[in-house]
Chain A
Amino acid sequence: MRNGRTFITQIAIATSQGTSTEEVWDAVVKGRTTFSTLEDCEGRQILFGDLDTERMAVGLTERIKIQTDPITQAALALSDQLLSGDNSEVLDHRDEIGVQLGNNYGGLSFAQRELTNLSENGPGAVSPYQSFAWFYSVNTGQISVRHKLKGPSGTVATEACSGIDALSLANYEILSGTDFMITGAIDGTRSPFGIASMYSGTSTLAPETAAEGFAPYSAESIGYVPGAGGALLMLQSERMTPPAQRDIELIGAARGFQSGQSGNVLRDVVERLFTESGVTPFDIGVVYSDAVGVPGVDTRERETLVKIFGDKQPPTTAPKTGFGRLFAGASAVDVALAALTLRNQWIPPLAIRLGGQDPDEHLNLVYGEGRPIQKDTALVLSTGTGGYRSAALLRLNG
């Protein structure tokens, strides 16, 4: 049996702006910037969108904490949020609930600690939990074990596109007959080794650069601020979604790869998605852009948007300017915020620190206080290091 439509019925988000969906939404609507300062071994300072994993782990037992990385603890806390309260009824169907997530850094804090243990104290000192605590599918496995879920599950690793690609794979499961899928991604690591890795990307800010350096689409921008966080979403089939919960529909998601010689794959992905779903550029009420913050990369994204929308640019926003780029979690959070944008009928702005005037004459960037959404469809874009390209479409059902 094939299910007809897919709905996003629950959302749980955590970033440096908050550890609940309500906190994060409030912060992005206000355009807050929440970067912390970390130091390396030489005293050099960097900015980081730091997730309060300790606060998130308060409800977890010591038995779970000892076997998990802080980012996995955050993933478990998000899954608790997703499956609590009114939505706990879905656990009546736990044998049919799958978990399809994205990931990038795995449990790298756990891994660094155990590498140090091995180095200092020998093989016998390595934690037995190292055998799974750092690998890329740890969040997926731990969530399914915690809630005793038995549906189709796995992890996809396509850097920043992981969140949308997980959504895409979860949607295929729904279309193939699974009724419930937990999807999304939470990523980023506070381990010093991981921080050094994040800051080694050519697109991150240089150490000791102020937050103003992360100003996508402006000439002054020189890179992005990395961060930790992500979002989980509950996808449900049409037949198992009560009418009252059908307000946000996942129309579809698509993916491609930009290898050296091919043209503009992101544009191809979006146009294929439009064609397959019967959506036109005129239907789009908001674009959540990738907004890397590196001028060359931003220029290519701008060109893509101009090619797709011409001189009728829909409002385009990038709240990640306030909490950072979250690697696999990045596009999952963008999808979650796009869903909230449709539900709340309000487009949050880019971080308010960037000012109130749109510096980009080609795009329709949302600066200042945000604005009401005028149309009922949202487009989310993502580009991943190496060549990954993905897009997702969501719609508000009236």
Chain B
Amino acid sequence: MSEGFGNNDQVEVRRVAITGIGVIAPGEPGRDAFWSLITSGGSAVRRISQFDPSSFRSQIAGECNIEDDGIVIQEFGDGEDLSAVDRSIRLAVAATDEALGDAFDSGYETCSTSDRIGISYGSAVGASQRMVELYDHFTDGGKYWRCPLGDKNEALFEGLLPSTLGACLADRYHVNGPVAIVSAGCTSGLDAVGQGAAMIQRGESHIVIAGGTDAPLLPITVASFDAIKATSPSNKKPEEASRPFDAKRNGFVLAEGAATLVLEDLEHARARGAHVYAEITGFARTTNGYHMTGLDNEGAELADAISKALLKAGIKPEQIDYVNAHGSSTQQNDVHETEALKKALGEHSRHVPISSIKSSIGHSLGAVGAIEIIACVLAIAENLVPPTINYEIPDERCDLDYVPNTARRAVINGALSTASGFGGFQSAIVIENPKRRDEII
């Protein structure tokens, strides 16, 4: 059995509410802009502007329209200078400011002193931007292999630590409970939310700031994915490059972003009169033990994660009304995932709407799992399934309902989100409408 929670063992467990959401996804910042983009069939993929991509195979990305010095809302912080931290941290701060503002019209300060607040935040390549900047500075652009051990430069120490993300968030939001930076390749964001929910489930925290962030749009990252032809070379039409489940898909589109969910003990949330968007009811993770980057066509381990997440939620496949797929737009993944959904959901896999919002926003590594959970939350709130855009030519190996190109109205009480990452990591999470959950419980 995987890490997670549920009441399948008949032990009374704490329910995990989502009471606030914040998104900095490619395109315009904020959750409203994000939702509008992915439900309108738009794309935020464009030619990379953060450096000159001319010499790279893949020259496109999902970029956030947000300036570094404009993203920090000084509502919770003490006016601290975040200009020297990794862009991934600044994106996370912006998403978290929005999420906490959403969850607490006022009163966060009271909670932060009276309750145990934790952080569970995911990142696949965390401090990569600072790593490159500091490398350039201390090796003079790579001239020196040995670096000078000059005066102590705390930036060179903390700048390389992935844990600096957690420390920055904890300081800014006066966190006193457990803080964890979760890293599991491209399942980091989903895993961080799942593990954050487990922190509430276990009673470690009353409130958890959970999410994911990554800002990998750097020459070294683009070059490394070029080398294995994992990313799309469709540079002439960037907005059409990410095409999950389409027969002409030719790789994922790299992106940046961050998303934060405020997770809260349901009783705690209801006691303070908070709006509860949804509940997280099941989470599971496995590994495929197969290959660091490759996937087989069977999807057995992802199917296993999905089945365990459903088991922990205590619901049947038929109670899933929407699947937000990993849908990375690589040949391998989309076949692998289709098979996994068939195995785990059975006949229901042929009836449930499945979509990949990476078609609109690309793949932001350790962030996108959290972004996709928010897509599920909003899908439940709005009873609207965001589409898979750029879906034109069916692939006979991918033969499910991928909600092509146009959003679809549907009653959504239960949603499933999946993730798959380098290293063989496979994860699944179940999000449900709290009203239905009340009926089930």
Contacts and interface: CB of A to CB of B under 8 A. Distances in A.
Partners in one complex: yes
Interface string B140-181: 011011111100111111111111101100110011111111
B223 A132 contact: no
A131 B187 CA distance: 15
B175 to A, nearest CB: 6
Interface string B119-142: 100011110000110110011011
Given A94-B289, A131-B293, A136-B183, A119 B149 contact: no
A70 to B, nearest CB: 15
A178 to B, nearest CB: 6
A201 interface: yes
B423 interface: yes
Nearest to B301: A150
A116 B170 contact: no
B125 A157 contact: no
B181 A157 contact: yes
Nearest to B1: A177
Interface string A174-206: 001110000000000000111111111110101
A121 B226 CA distance: 15
B163 A197 contact: no
A294 B128 CA distance: 29
B434 interface: no
Interface stretch (B27-35, B242-250, B280-288): B280-288
A194 B395 CA distance: 46
A87 B278 CA distance: 44
A192 to B, nearest CB: 4
Contacts of B153: 200
Interface stretch (B3-11, B233-241, B369-377): B3-11
A24 to B, nearest CB: 26
A287 B159 CA distance: 31
Nearest to B153: A200
A206 B153 CA distance: 12
Chain A CB count within 10 A is highest, among B57, B152, B301, for: B152
A106 B128 CA distance: 11
A33 interface: no
B170 A152 contact: no
Interface residues of A, number: 91
B9 A2 contact: yes
A58 B176 CA distance: 45
Given A41-B148, A156-B181, A172 B198 contact: yes
B184 interface: yes
A150 B162 contact: no
A151 interface: yes
A126 B164 contact: no
A256 B161 CA distance: 18
Interface string B292-324: 110000000100100000000000000000000
Contacts of A374: none
Interface stretch (A8-16, A260-268, A302-310): A260-268
Contacts of A105: 160
Contact of B224 (A128, A138, A194, A260): A128
B142 A116 contact: yes
A135 to B, nearest CB: 6
Contacts of B119: 257
A103 to B, nearest CB: 7
Interface in A118-175: 118-120, 122-124, 126-128, 130-132, 135-138, 140-142, 144-145, 147-159, 162, 165, 169, 172-173
A128 B157 contact: no
Interface of B: 1-5, 9, 11, 55-57, 119, 123-126, 131-132, 134-135, 138-139, 141-142, 144-149, 152-164, 166-167, 170-171, 174-185, 187-188, 191, 195, 198, 202, 219-220, 222-228, 230, 284-293, 301, 304, 421-425
**Across chains A and B, which 3 residue pairs bring their CB atoms closest together, nearest first?**
A141-B423, A386-B167, A119-B142
20 contacts: A41-B148, A98-B287, A119-B141, A120-B142, A123-B57, A123-B226, A126-B224, A127-B224, A127-B227, A131-B293, A135-B422, A141-B422, A153-B184, A165-B180, A201-B154, A255-B179, A257-B178, A259-B171, A265-B176, A388-B167
